Amino acid sequence: MDRKSFIKTGIVGSLGLGALPVYGFGENQTEPEPIKTELVKEFVLAGHFNLDKVKNMLNDYPNLIYSSYDWGNGDFEEAIEGAGHKGNKEVANYLIEQGARVNLFVLTMLGKTNLVKPMLEAYPNLIFSKGPHGLTLLHHAEVGGEQSKELYNYLMEKGLTQKSMKLR
């Protein structure tokens, strides 16, 4: 690139940056309202056991799928995590199909050994991580039933014996 082209590119680029606020990147953009806390709580509770309510609420408020409720002391939980620690595979699978953020605890409950074991081999200390309410991977493997039996045994072999741990 010669000097003349370089200068032209710089001038045109600078002018383009001045237009950013017009296209929603500047201070003229209004922030969306946060989802009401009580609505998030209702959705998270429904995620534990009520597929029909989950479907209806997602239909009305699609971004609830990404929301988490704070039960206090940093004990955050999403609807999919409620399904995970209750062993509700139907709700968990539905939420995954809708694009929910899946995690190691839910995958353990679902018995996804081919996904969970390599992650735990790569990061061995995750075996002792705490999920919502301090529930461990062992708890999630237990509520997963027969599908998660291999993971339950694997976790026990690796030294995880607690099903819950106190959150700080």
The CATH number for 150's domain is: 1.25.40.20
Burial of 69 (0-12, 13-18, 19+ CB in 10 A): buried
**Rounded-to-integer distance, Cα 106 and Cα 116, Å:** 10
**Domain membership flag for residue 5:** no
92 belongs to a structural domain: yes
Question: What are the residues whose beta carbons fall under 8 Å from the beta carbon of 74, sequence distance 6 or more?
Answer: 167, 168
Residue 56 belongs to a domain: yes
What is the domain extent for residue 48?
Answer: 37-157
Considering its fold, how many domains does the chain have in total?
Answer: 1
Domain assignment present for 16: no
Q: Is residue 149 part of a domain?
A: yes
Q: Residue 107: what pLDDT? A: 98
* pTM tops 0.95: no
Q: Residue 114: pLDDT band by 50, 70, 90 thresholds? A: very high
Least confident of 25-29, 48-52, 101-105, 116-120: 25-29
27 domain-assigned: no
Overall average pLDDT of the 160-168 stretch: 93
Q: What's the DSSP call for residue 13?
A: H
124 assigned to some structural domain = yes
Q: For residue 148, what are the contacts with CB-CB under 8 A and spacing of at least 6?
A: 108, 109, 110, 111, 140, 141, 142
Which tokens is 37 given?
Answer: 């806390």
CA distance 133 to 48: 13
Mean pLDDT of the chain: 90
Q: Is a pLDDT exceeding 70 seen at residue 2?
A: no
Contact 122, 139 (CB under 8 A): no
Residue-level pLDDT at 142: 98
* Structural domain contains residue 152: yes
Beta bridge partners of 78: 68
